Amino acid sequence: MTTVSALAVDAALLPDLGGDAGGFVGSVHSVFTSVVNVSAADDQLWSLAARRVPAGPRTVRLAVDAMDDLGLDPGTPVRARGSLLFAGDVVVDLAEAAPWQPAAIPGPVRPDRLAAVDAALAEFGLAGGARPGADPFSRAVAARIADSLDLIADAVARDDAVALRAAASALIGLGTGLTPAGDDVLTGLAFTAAQLGGPLAAITAAVAAVAVPGTTHAVSLTALHQACAGRAVQPLVDVLAAVCGQGDAGRLPETVAALVAIGHTSGTDLAYGLLAAAHLSQSLQTPTK
Amino acid sequence: MPTRTLIKNNTYVDSVSLMSISTKAAALDGVVNAVAAMATPMNKEILTNQGLITAEIEASTPGDLVLIVVTDGDEAGADAALEGLIGLLDRKPTGSDTEVTYRTVRAAAAGRPDANVAVISVNGAFAAGEAHHALDAGLNVMLFSDNVPLADEIALKQKAHEAGLLMMGPDCGTAIINGVSLCFANKVRRGRIGIVAASGTGAQEMSVRIHDFTGGVSQLLGTGGRDLSAEVGAIMMLDGIDALDSDPGTDVIVVVSKPPASEVAEKVLDRLAASAKPSVVCFLGAGPEVAEAAKTRGIAFFDRTKPAALAAVVASGVDESTLDLHALNWPLIEEVRAKLTPEQKYIRALFCGGTLCDESMFLALEKYDDVYSNISKDPAKRLRGTDPSRGHTFLDFGEDEFTNGKPHPMIDPSNRIERFRTEAADPEVGVIVMDIVLGYGSNPDPVGVMLPAITEAKANAAAAGRHLEILAYVLGTESDFQGFDEQVAKLTGAGVTWASSSTNTGLLAREFVYKGENA
């Protein structure tokens, strides 16, 4: 048996893990270098993650450097009892874990900050997802993402829920990599829409409607569902907070770079979604002649 | 095109590993396209549009991983590519009892107290922090990363200068320290000529030309491309010259750079003039005022790499009369001109090396006005990498617009191959120019990965009744692991003209397409 301490846990996940009576029962879904996903009966995943993984929804960060050498494999039973999680030969102690509970981000978007984040993403963003790469598949994906974001903006402006849903459904499950680029863009978009609200609420509703089993896999679906509830990984939260005027403007490049560092192009694609929603919010705030 | 598909049911591989597998698969023999994606309905739709869908893919679900290789050879080649793909997917990270992975520079410095150089290659946003940690630990730094803010570069170089350490970079791709090559470098003879270079392939070209002229390199120090800007003020270049001046193994000092800021050029020239050792300056594209400033200080000045290398070798004691100087081959030029139609009048140059691109471009500019490039300093003559070619076009595929999210073209040639096919189909093209960079860090068979496209383009041009002239320069030595002679033989076997130096490449290209009265 190996006992490891949890450093932090999503406060909203704790009720799902349960207490002494009727605690969580599930199994390992997938194993990566830094993350082990756990599935429950409702197909929603939650994660055990190494210390360097940023805090986020449904995540328990552990005091370990890597997850793929803990002897956990897909199918390994996982259960919870009291403040302990049992996964194979690993026992996770949640007793000292700090609860992660990000504050809501008050809008509106600040144009100067938005321009600065645009510039930082242009500098640090990576090609291969929303930004076209060299191969034909990647170019087709990037073109469809660009077209769909235009259609989403147009549908929101016209208050056309049907067109909005069609445009969102063209993105889900689209692209290379583990979490397809289209899913990451939608996650950034839905999270920002949920936080800023107003006319963007229609985006959240559309994404929630199209993010259903069969369109993409469980890892993406979990992130999408959380985004629709206004919840996302801490670097995405930080960038949106910066766009809305919080924090030191001088640290914007580092904040964007921390987001871009997620996955291969996932961070860049999350940022694209966030910026698309933020620009839309800004344009809807601006009176026109 | 023969295509093979591999589906791994309910398989989740992290995106970074998938990207690595996809990139390596694209570099397998004969592979022209590789896809690694989850089998979602939207991805199936794209694959259908691209003619890559199969019944097996149709039947798969979003939790399944789809890997596809598209090849341009025969069915056996496609089978071999699939085997290669399976090998990549099954490959586990290798290690040994003597290898230790450190998660931070500070930990590595503490664990390896005998180390004195840190090579750093991380995202530019984090690179400065890591470089500060290395300098604070007393390590010289080679910073491969680009996109490092200018203010950070200045702070790092000032800190290194005050600590008596070398701060090579950011964006430093080449160095040879005490005979050990770092990052992209060629296997050259050790000798008594020291090089400080603000350009990566410029440094490689200088070291290789010195080797070819029977000379040898004592040290090759990189500075990063912005070091000779007015803002940085050549902090590392001056420290590098100091280091070579006090190095008992160095007799001659060579400086290589694109055009420096004029006040910075003066500082560099003053420092070289203060040394008792002979020095050679090669500032590509520099104007006559810089040449004059060097001349007044008694420093040998050149704006081309080949004569600069020759001067350095001669200064180190080699008898010029014993050397093969690779004079420009005028009979070859006449032969090529005779094959081209009047409409075939443009150079289309597709380079991996920025300095090699610059040198050929500057030589073309001496003769033509309609020269366009993605690295042109003149906004009116600047193209984006995705723009169609105009007039004489010179593209550097090592620029950020091509490398963002992809390995350098010296490793992954896919961007250049795609552009090559486009240029080869243009009836106004008189010559396509390419560099083939050998050495540590480069593709193991850089000519081999280009050959299918070259063969196809030559055949298409012949079918259309026109000659397609392809001029290639192989930057390397007979000791580079790719095999210099083998690479050249592959080129000449495919009907490609081979140039002997970067300088000759630019001269040959501009003369091949010259249509003037004396042509």
Asked if the model's pLDDT at residue B93 lies above 60, the reply is no
Interface check B16 vs A, CB under 8 A: yes
DSSP per residue over B294-312, as a string? HHHTT-EEESSHHHHHHHH
Helix (H) or strand (E) holding A32: none
The residues near B411 (Cβ < 8 Å, ≥ 6 apart) are B27, B441, B442, B443
User: Stretch B472-494: mean pLDDT, rounded?
Assistant: 95
CA distance, residue B157 to nearest chain A CA (Å):
21
Element (H, E) at B281: strand B279-283
Per cent of chain B over pLDDT 90 is 73
Q: How far apart are CA B484 and CA B444, in angstroms?
A: 11
Does residue A289 have a pLDDT over 60? no
CB of B289 within 8 A of CB of B484? Answer: no
What is the mean predicted confidence (pLDDT) over A141-149? 96
> Among A170-184, B84-98, B189-203, B365-379, whose mean pLDDT is lowest?
B84-98
Tell me which of A140-149, B50-59, B82-91, B270-279 is least confident: B82-91
- Read off the pLDDT of each residue in B241-256 and give the average, rounded to a whole number: 96
pLDDT of residue A20: 55
Reply yes or no on whether the pLDDT at B94 is more than 80: no
Inform me whether the pLDDT recorded for B361 exceeds 70. yes
pLDDT band at B81 (very low <50, low <70, confident <90, very high): confident
Cβ distance of A264 and B15 shorter than 8 Å: yes
pLDDT at residue B97 tops 50: no
Of the residues A176, A215, A219, A269, the best mutation for testing chain B's interface (the one with the most B CB atoms within 10 Å of its CB) is: A176
| Yes or no, beta carbons of B37 and A137 under 8 Å apart | yes
User: What's the pLDDT tens digit per position in B131-148?
Assistant: 999 999 999 999 998 888
Listed in order, strand segments (DSSP E) in B20-123 are 31-38, 65-71, 117-120
Question: Any chain A CB within 8 A of the CB of B402?
Answer: yes
pLDDT at A128: 77
Q: Is B36 on the interface with A (CB under 8 A)?
A: yes
Average pLDDT on A256-280 reads 92
Lowest mean pLDDT among A278-287, B292-301, B479-488, B503-512: A278-287
**Which residues between 406 and 435 in chain B have a beta carbon less than 8 angstroms from any beta carbon of chain A?**
406, 414-415, 418
Reduced to 3 states, what is the DSSP secondary structure of residue A62? strand
Residue boundaries of the structural domains of chain A: 2-100, 111-285
Give the pLDDT confidence score for residue B29 in this predicted structure.
81
pLDDT of residue B91: 60
Query: Which residue of chain A is at minimal alpha-carbon distance from B419?
Result: A134
* Residues of chain A positioned with their CB less than 8 A from the CB of B42: 144, 170-175, 180, 182, 215
pLDDT at B404: 67
Choice among A122-131, B54-63, B488-497 with the minimum mean pLDDT? A122-131
What is the tens place of the pLDDT at every residue in B363-387? 999 999 999 999 998 999 999 988 9
User: Using a CB-CB distance cutoff of 8 angstroms, which residues of chain A are in contact with residue B123?
Assistant: 124, 257, 260-261
- What was the pLDDT predicted at B518? 55
> Tokens 């946003």 sit at which residue?
B125
Closest by CA to A271, choosing from A152, A59, A122, A170, is A122
Residue ranges and CATH numbers for the domains of chain B are 3-90 (3.30.70), 172-322 (3.40.50.261), 330-512 (3.40.50.261)
Phi, psi of A207 (to 5 degrees): -65, -45
Tokens in use for A222? 């979990």
Is residue B308 within 8 A of residue B280, CB to CB? The reply is: yes
Confidence of residue B125 (pLDDT cuts 50, 70, 90): confident
Contact call for A127 and B47, based on CB within 8 A: no
Average pLDDT value for chain B: 91
Q: Does A234 touch chain B (CB under 8 A)?
A: no
Percent of chain B residues topping a pLDDT of 70: 97
Name the DSSP class of B122: S
Q: pLDDT (tens digit, 9 = 90+) per residue, A193-218?
A: 999 999 999 999 999 999 999 999 99
pLDDT at B487 over 90: yes
DSSP, collapsed to helix, strand or coil, labels residue A118 as helix
Say if the Cβ atoms of A137 and B40 lie within 8 Å.
Answer: no
pLDDT digits (tens, 9 = 90+) for B33-48: 888 889 999 999 999 9
Model confidence at B92: pLDDT above 70: no
User: What's the pLDDT score for residue B121?
Assistant: 87
